[in-house]
Each structure stands twice: as structure tokens, then as C-alpha cells.
Amino acid sequence: MPKNSSQKAKELPADLQKENQEARPEPAKDEPGTRQKKPTDLTNPPPKASSSPAQAKALADARRDSKSGAREREDGEILVGTMAGKNWLIERRIAAGSFGTLFIGRHIHTLEPVAIKAERMDSSYPQLHRERKFYQVLGGGVNVGVAPAQPGIPIIYYFGECSTGHHYQLLIMELLGPNIEDLLQACGGKFAVKTTCMLAIQLLDRMEYIHSKGTDPRPCYTPYSSCRTISVLTGILYRDIKSENFLLGRRDGPNANTVFIVDFGLSKEYINPVSRQHVPFNTKKGSVGTPRYMSINALQHHEQGRRDDLEALSYLFLYLHIGHLPWQGLPGSTFAEKCKRILEKKLKLGVEDVCKGAPVEFCKFMKYSRTLEYEEKPDYNFCRQLFHDMIAREKATFDHVYDFHGERVADFWKTRNKLLGSLGPLPEDLQTRIELARRYDGQTMEAGGGRKSKNAGAASSRNVRSDRADPMNGVGDVFDSRIKPPYNQATLRTRQKAKKGCAGCLCCCSFRNKRKHSDTGFSGSTQDVSQTKRASFDL
């Protein structure tokens, strides 16, 4: 049997082969649109395009940047004009970063403007869910939409999913004012001593709260107590100190002079929630943060601690007052190369050389942050007193009168106010969307009420409350502060077992109902309890 067409052609008679050759049309050489196959010259192959590794890397970076820019434009085109949950309308894209896109929106009933952060579900480095967790912990519990007790932490209104051709995660928070970097540039690139000190004192307050006051609600495992939660000290490292991440409150609000801290995507717990011990020191970690403000230990790939956040703050305070740092503008095509050059510069220069031209308190604060041990708790009162002394030496008071409240930055505030004033009227089809949301409520109640059980009405009520309260739900309405959703799904399963009186749960409901299950106690309960306990601590 022939294996190819050439063998078939050889087996044909001579007259048939001649007829086939005559019947086969020849391609026109000069006809447009035809591709002529060039003969391959194996003796002299065509030369390959020579490109150095640097050129290849630059080309790859350009392709990646163009792709990310196209994705950001696509995100803005897709999400603008859509609803986030039931009550928020996405109005306009105002910024885009490496980890998401920021929009401005408003509540459709109260018309209150909000900030909406969107992140694709297929993102290479998803951080929005992690950021929401830290906002929840710093807010003082699991209630969403409740103002935290500590000032400087923004209020979170909603967290959920949005599906409009692509799947997105959305985080809705209160709209804040400009960041410190924008205010610095509006004031000519540097702040006076008084303004720098007042900002430094507030930022030290935020760091102290994040480091030592962050608590995580956990289920209580005391057998003979009622169902409740306990607060476990976790401690959070910020690890992303930069002037763009510190914002002031809205000028027309009650927190106009309060410094807020945002963007917890790179934050990390330094206290193990299970062992309640400090995370051990490690010398083989990746560099995390902004290279300009990163500490020497972070640039050396060491495990970061509270001391590294303070050292990064010392560089930020110096930058706000002087307007530049000695390692600014160093060339570096990659993140690793830039970190390497900045590390060499920081090791070469002494503290006095870095703080040249600044008051001596800046030098003292930087020296103190560099001399701290890895697990040592910083003396925040000592650090704050340094800046209070500078304010007293300037014969000024802590009156929240900053440089950016003067007349020379009036144009900046006019431009800033246009961002909120340009929000147009609500679209005409918004009432249709509200009606669809109400229909969804009715369908949910009918589905819950149709269950054939004694507690059919209660089941429907619970379903509606859960859909409205759970921030993980795409249609959540979390303005009802009476509802307290569980912290994670493992805790939800534990509470559901407790309500059913499961013998494998360590909650008090199991001890109360153990006689209903068996008279001999908990058979095999040790293994079930350990599994449930580990699952609840698995975040």
C-alpha cells in the first residue's frame, strides 16, 4: 500500500500522469494576492535578528505594559455604568495601579460618593480579598459598614463579586481626600517643619494601632460558656510605606484633618494566630514594598518586623521635609536591580549624611529605628515626643493648620472639587435596575417560603437576611448593621453544626444537647474536635 502521494503518482500509467500534469493549473507569478514559496537554501540560511538580553527584556516589558494598559482601559469601559451590589453605581474610573482599578461611585438612594476598588478574578496576584480581611480586622470586628473605633481607618461598605463579561471583585469604601504626595507637590515639593511633624505624629499613631491593636475575632471554644467570639492579638505589619498610601479625609467632612491609611494588599501578620508567638526570623525572604522607602533589612531579603515599618517612616518623614532622598533617580531596569542599587547607597551613606540639612530629631528617629531588634516592640511615645519637641521649638502648636490650607494651593482644591462636582444625574435606566433588585428579593422570599417544613417562614427570612448581610455575596446589602456574618466559611460550618447539636463540635450547644444524641457521651469526639479547631483557624 503506498505511503504518500508521490508513490501513488509513480504507480499511475504514463498517459494518466501526463493528463494530471496538464490539468493542474500553474499559479500566476505576477498575480496580486498570491504567495510564492521560496526555495530553501540550506547552505546559506538567512541571518537571525541579533538582540541583546537587555533589548529582549525591554521588548517584553513594553508588551506587558501595553497589555496591562489595555486591560485597565477595558476594565474602565466594562464597569463604568454598572451596579455594584444593589445600592452602588460605578460612575467613573479615576486611577489604575498594578493591583487593581479605582472608580468613583455613589449610593443610588443617598447619593453619597464612595470609592470602588476593582480587581479581576483571574489576576496573577489577587490581593483584594486579603486587603478586605485586614480592613475587617482593623475595623474592630466582622460588622461591615460600621465606623471603626480608631480614627484613620476607612469604613468598608461592601465586598463582593461583579460579573459583566469578566468576573471582578469589588471593595467599596468611603471616599477620602487627596494623598500626601499630591499635597506635597501642590506645596512646592516640601513641607515646613510644623506640617511634617503633625503628619508624622498621626502616622505614628496609625502604625502603633496596626502593630499592637489589631485583633481578630475567633469562635470561643470554652465548653460551658455561651456562643461568643474572642479577640486574639494578631499584630499587622504594613510593609508598603509610601506617600501615596496616606490620604486625608474629605475637606467637606468631619475628618478633614485626619490622616487615613489605605491599601493593605502587602500587609502581613507577624503574630502566629495559633501559637501566638512572633514569626521567626528568616534571611531568605522576598523584597516587599516600595524600594525608595524600604528598610535595609527588607532590601537584604530579611523577614520584616515592626522596626522595618518605622525605618520606612523615617525615610518618608525626611522626604516630606527635604523633598528628596539621596538614592532617588538611581537607574534600574528591574525591581531587583533597583533594590540592589538603593541598598548599596544606603549602606554607603551614614545616618548623618542621609539627614543632612534636616533637624537633629530626624537623625535620632532614623538611628533609633535602625537599632531595634527583630522582635522588639518600638517605643512609640519616644518617637512621637521627638516631633512634639520640634513643634515646641518652632513656637507652634498642634492646631491642624497645614501648609496645604493656604491660598497658594487654592487651585489644587478647585481641581480636586471638580472630581466630585462632575458626577451627573442618575441614568434613566437606573429605576429599572432597582426594580430588578426588588424582584430578586421577592424571588428569594418565595424560594425560602416554599420549603415544606415547620419553620418554612423562618427559613425564608434567614435566606433573605443572609443574602443582604453576607459581604461575600454578589448581591449583598450590608447596610443592616444588626446582622453579623461569620468571619469565614469554616466558622460558618462550625456554627451550623452547633445549631444542629452535632456531637463533633466543641461549642456549648453540643454539650447542652449531648443527651439527645447518646447517653454514653461523645464517641470519637477528640478527632472531630481537633479537625474543627484546625479548620476554624485556617484563614
Reply yes or no on whether 240 is catalytic: yes
User: Which has the closest alpha carbon to 305: 278, 341, 336?
Assistant: 278
Whose cell is 449531648? That residue is 514
Q: Which residues share a beta bridge with 259?
A: 248
**Angle separating helix axes 380-393 and 193-212, nearest 10 degrees:** 170
Instruction: Please list, in sequence order, all residues whose beta carbon lies within 8 angstroms of the beta carbon of residue 129, skipping any fewer than 6 positions away.
Output: 159, 169
Among 468, 464, 487, 488, residue whose Cα is nearest residue 479: 468
What's the first-to-final CA gap in the chain, in angstroms? 66
| Residue 408 · residue 229 · CB < 8 Å | no
Q: Cβ neighbours of residue 415 under 8 Å, at least 6 residues apart?
A: none
In this structure, are residues 508 and 224 in contact, taking their beta carbons and an 8 Å threshold?
A: yes
- DSSP secondary structure string for all residues of 65-112: HHHHHHHHHHHHHHHTT-EETTTEEEEEEEEEETTEEEEEEEETTT--
Out of 75, 240, 263, 528, which one is annotated catalytic? 240
Which region, left, alpha or beta, applies to residue 165 given φ > 0 means left and ψ of -120 to 50 means alpha? left
Is residue 68 within 8 Å of 125, Cβ to Cβ? Answer: no
Catalytic residue positions, numbered: 240
